Homo-oligomer: A and B are copies of this chain.
Amino acid sequence: MTNLDSAFASLADPTRRAIISRLCEGPKSVSELSDPFDIALPSLLKHVRVLEESGLISSVKVGRIRTCKVETHALQATKAWLQQHITTWEERLDRMEAHIETMKRET
């Protein structure tokens, strides 16, 4: 799996997107993260692990507390892929529009 494969796959789950949302407000411990979620801690930890493996978040354990933070370069990379393709498509539309204008003027 490339980084994009695993980043997009990680983002395909609503709980994992909600974890990203909360971490974008600031780093949080796993127990703080689990608060609003009605899921068992092992399930939450599994999502955290998937997000870590895809590089979208990282975590550090100090004593008994594991603190997670978002890694925005991975979010940026997925956004960049989308932006690049949207731009390609928009440029094509612009070229088509210009072509139609030229045809109009010539007839």
Contacts and interface: CB of A to CB of B under 8 A. Distances in A.
Instruction: From A8, A78, A82, A88, name the one whose CB has the most chain B CB atoms within 10 angstroms.
Output: A82
A11 B24 CA distance: 22
Range for the number of chain A residues in contact with chain B: 20 to 34
B9 A12 contact: yes
Contact of A2 (B14, B20, B72, B76): B14
A79 B83 contact: yes
Chain A interface, >50% SS class: helix
B85 A82 contact: no
A63 interface: no
Interface string A85-100: 1101100100000000
